[in-house]
């Protein structure tokens, strides 16, 4: 359990940026909470579910990701070891 299982996407402020980092290749990108919620699949999701369902955006990777929020939120040192 973590903060991710307590927070729904819909709890986030509009425009919240979510950093999505691939656990495999380390590629990172930002997703905007509103944009994710616009997707039916994530509209009711908790952040741990978003993390579980998102995949790396690199076509040939498709690895699992970890997500982190920006400055307004508690942000665990999580996973570690990835550049």
Give the binding site for Zn ion (CB under 5 A). 22, 24-25, 27, 56, 58, 61, 63
Q: Are 34 and 50 in contact (CB under 8 A)?
A: no
Q: Give the DSSP letter of residue 47.
A: H
Task: Report d(CA 29, CA 83) in Å as an integer.
Answer: 13
Taking the complex as a whole, the smallest distance from the CB of residue 28 to Zn ion amounts, in Å, to 9
For Zn ion, the closer CB: 9 or 56: 56
User: Which residue, 24 or 32, is less far from Zn ion as judged by CB?
Assistant: 24
Closest approach, Cβ 59 to Zn ion, in A, equals: 9
Q: Which is nearer to Zn ion, 27 or 32 (CB)?
A: 27
Please give the Cα distance from 69 to 74 (Å, whole number): 8
């Amino acid at each position: 359990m973590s903060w991710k299982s307590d927070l729904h996407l819909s709890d986030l402020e509009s425009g919240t940026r979510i950093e999505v980092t691939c656990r495999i290749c380390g590629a990172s990108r930002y997703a905007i909470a509103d944009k994710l919620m616009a997707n039916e699949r994530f509209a009711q999701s908790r952040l741990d579910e978003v993390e579980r369902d998102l995949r790396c955006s690199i076509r040939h990777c498709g690895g699992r990701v970890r997500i982190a929020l920006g400055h307004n939120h508690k942000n665990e040192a999580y996973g570690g070891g990835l550049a």
